[in-house]
Amino acid sequence: MTTLTLTPGAVTLDDLATIYWTEASVRLDSICHPDIERAHERIAKAVAGTDAVYGVNTGFGKLASVKIESKDTTALQRNLILSHCCGVGPAISRRHARLLMALKLLSLGRGASGVRLAVVTLIEDMLAKGVTPVIPAQGSVGASGDLAPLAHMAAAMMGHGEAEFDGQVMSGEKALAAAGLTPVVLGPKEGLALINGTQFSTAFALAGLFGAWRAAHSALVTSAMSTDAIMGSTAPLQPEIHTLRGHIGQIQAGATMRALLDGSEIRESHVVDDARVQDPYCIRCQPQVTGAAMDVLRMAARTLEIEANAATDNPLVLIEADVIVSGGNFHAEPVGFAADMIALAIAEIGAIAQRRVALIVDPVLSFNLPPFLTPNPGLNSGYMIAEVTTAALMSENKHLANPCVTDSTPTSANQEDHVSMAAHGARRLGAMNENLARILGVELLCAAQGIDFRAPLATSAALQKVVTRVRQEVETMGEDRYLAPDLERAAVMITSGDIVTAADIDMPELSQ
């Protein structure tokens, strides 16, 4: 298993994507250890003192005014974790949980949380040995940290709750023991440091971002295929058009589509004397729409890259100033905004793709393709209802794209009176990406079928590689058949990036 060494404050989107897609283990660069230890020493000093320090020798939230005796600080942290294990719903995936743990390491590694180095080492060892806390998906409002889900992570570290090890779910205590690890007994401030923070929301937002970016790449491929299938014009891809506007996503989307369509015999066959003056917007404006979505994803990516490297618990130990200060870095508003932006991009990539599917199956608009792409329409329905399915998924994503960050509600006896709702704002992105993959999967099948109908004219070399890859999984549609498995296989080719790999051309990078 790959182990990445991460320097808190300098981790990149590529690093985070590697952690997510490959479930790589991580360790913090030892350069951050001295600051971690200095912050812990400052917490120890506060415990020995008489001044009230939030979460160190006081209660939490609305109970912050309750002073805790120094002899009870360990019990305080234990009670905090166990009482906050109020997550409900299905467990999040191992991939999400491991990314969450890596993000928590990065936050602790900034040297402002006051935990012992042993806490950091335990998270590193759990990642290395495959001990993954079972974390329920629901319960966070993305405000005073992702409290409930992060408490379930911390509980497993203490030997409570549940964890997965070697493919089996067991108690946290048994999972740690099976991996040769010892549960941690939390010291002052350590429980609070573990559950304060935005790591659950950020992990899901990053996962949604990475899935959406893969989908955007796939959409460039399927949209180029659709353009050739309906004998659309490539004139709107002329580079000067996009340079004159100046948006980088649009420029890159246009250039990628030009490369995908380069050398198409289908295109060359109707360059001259085509009675159509302009194609519908879903063909003509593809760079403007998908490119804009790419730009939005990049804006969200920049926010999430910053957040992944941030110290987001409370209070924070400011080493140079030698103070412990209560603040609000646990509030996930930036993550909530980023998640809403990603949702909009996902919805719009799917919306224009659905219109391309509708175009291809419509004989009035598809430039002489047979109705619903079946060679024997009437007796056969072809891709008629597959298009209806894309309409259903598109509509569902439109509803899911409504903003979450504006839906604040007071919690904790009005102490936490404005919350970000970033957790479920980010969590919905997984379902939206699944819907988008199925929309693009149907477009992939329809476009490949349309290209097949243009024979003996051939599409471009790049797109022919994609069609060949599709035909390894799904046969050309002749007589009607049970279609659901075909749609799922096509969706997998989208989510895996398979068709992008098959096209074998350079794609725009997420980091700019």
Structural contact between residues 298 and 253, judged by C-beta atoms closer than 8 angstroms? no
Q: Give me the residue label for tokens 């799922």.
A: 488
- Residue 44 φ/ψ, nearest 5 degrees: -60, -40
As to burial, measured by CB atoms within 10 angstroms (0-12 exposed, 13-18 middle, 19+ buried), residue 322 is: exposed
Q: Distances from the Cα of 468 to the Cαs of 439, 448, 471, 478, in angstroms?
A: 20, 9, 5, 17
Crossing angle for the helix pair 333-361 and 422-453, to the nearest 10 degrees? 20
Point out the catalytic residue in the list 20, 54, 383, 482. 54
Within a 13 Å sphere around the CA of 213, how many CA atoms are in the beta-carbon half?
A: 23
Give the length of the chain.
512
Long-range CB pairs of 25-29, under 8 A, 24+ apart, other chains included: 25/1, 25/124, 25/127, 25/128, 26/102, 26/105, 26/124, 26/127, 27/3, 27/124, 27/128, 28/105, 28/106, 28/109, 28/120, 28/124, 29/5, 29/109
Residue 59's H or E segment, with its range, is none
Tell me how far apart the alpha carbons of residues 331 and 312 are, in angstroms, rounded to a whole number.
8
- Count other Cβ atoms within 10 Å, centred on residue 68: 18
Instruction: Kindly state the tokens that stand for 425.
Output: 């704002």
Q: Distances from the Cα of 86 to the Cαs of 17, 47, 152, 161, in angstroms?
A: 29, 28, 8, 11
What are the respective helix, strand and coil percentages of the chain, to the nearest 5?
60, 10, 35
Q: Give the max Cα distance, the chain.
A: 89
Instruction: Kindly state the tokens that stand for 345.
Output: 């991009």
Instruction: Kindly state the tokens that stand for 4.
Output: 């990445």
Tell me how far apart the alpha carbons of residues 163 and 133 are, in angstroms, rounded to a whole number.
4
Amino acid found at 203: A
281 is known as an active-site residue: no
Radius of gyration of the chain (CA): 26
Buried b (16+ CB within 10 A) or exposed e, 340-368: bbbbbbbbbbbbbbbbbbbbbbeeebbbe
**Which residues, in sequence order, are CB contacts of 334 under 8 Å at separation 6+?**
303, 306, 307
- Count other Cβ atoms within 10 Å, centred on residue 269: 12
* Catalytic annotation, residues: 54
